[in-house]
Amino acid sequence: MTRRYDLQVHTNASPCSSTPPERVAEAAADAGLDGIAVTDHDTLANVDAVRDAAPADLEVIAGVEVTTTEGHLLALDVTEAPPRTDPLTVIDRVHEQGGVAVLSHPFDTLRQYYKTDLEALADVVDGIEAMNSRCVRRRFNDRAASFAAAHDLPTTGGSDAHFPMEVDRAYTVVEGGGSLVDAVREGRVRPGGRGRYLSGHVATKLHQFRTASSRAVGILTSGRFP
């Protein structure tokens, strides 16, 4: 038995996404996923809303994409957002809550990535995201996969969707039953789907541009300047 989870999905609780929670639940259900992790930047604010909107057969994992002082880190199955601090402390906080910690797009040098402490991180982290559909260069995902292999660490995949059409572009295949976090801990996971997805970044830029322009229009029409 296998199940398919998209372990990195954003909603409009992230500044760079405008997707309402209901649309995320709908896109995941339409894609036929068994589960998703809602992983907004440094907040759990929309997890309950996605859960409320999700059909009964779609599992919703409470996650956070933590902004550490180095790269991004996925905290999966947590009850509060870990602090934005150094990655080793963040991993500790995730474990204290009974969750698992996965390094998110760890070698994507076009985004926030990990530079130091890699051996120390490999000793304590639960997994490595080796397929992120927003990694525009194949070698970013390849390097994550070889780092995981060299350190015998489980690998996951996630779309990093900021828009509904991106959900399920990359995912995690789970072998066997039980909870998702146990499957990660026991290494019964592997990434699937595709990376090198550029149009999502273009859509994000357009979204930022639209937000900035409406702000500018607001300033002009209000006659006030910030």
Tell me which residues touch Zn ion (CB under 5 A). 65, 72, 104, 160
Amino acid letter for position 224: R
Nearer to Zn ion, 102 or 184 (CB): 102
Cβ(31)–Cβ(186) below 8 Å: no
Query: Closest-CB residue for Zn ion?
Result: 72
Nearer to Zn ion, 136 or 182 (CB): 136
Nearer to Zn ion, 3 or 72 (CB): 72
Shortest distance, position 160 Cβ to Zn ion, whole Å: 4
CA 36 to CA 165: how far, in whole Å? 14
H or E element in which residue 39 lies? strand 35-41
Shortest distance, position 222 Cβ to Zn ion, whole Å: 33
Tally Cβ neighbours within 10 Å of residue 26. Answer: 18
Shortest distance, position 1 Cβ to Zn ion, whole Å: 28
Shortest distance, position 105 Cβ to Zn ion, whole Å: 6
CA 181 to CA 42: how far, in whole Å? 19
Nearer to Zn ion, 6 or 160 (CB): 160
Residue 193's contacts (CB-CB under 8 Å, 6 or more residues apart) are 131, 133, 157, 159, 168, 169, 170, 171
8, 9, 14, 15: CA torsion to nearest 10 = 100
Tokens of 120: 């120390």
Tally Cβ neighbours within 10 Å of residue 117. Answer: 13
Radius of gyration over every alpha carbon of the chain, rounded to an integer in angstroms? 17
Nearer to Zn ion, 110 or 206 (CB): 110
Shortest distance, position 3 Cβ to Zn ion, whole Å: 22
Nearer to Zn ion, 192 or 218 (CB): 192
Shortest distance, position 170 Cβ to Zn ion, whole Å: 11
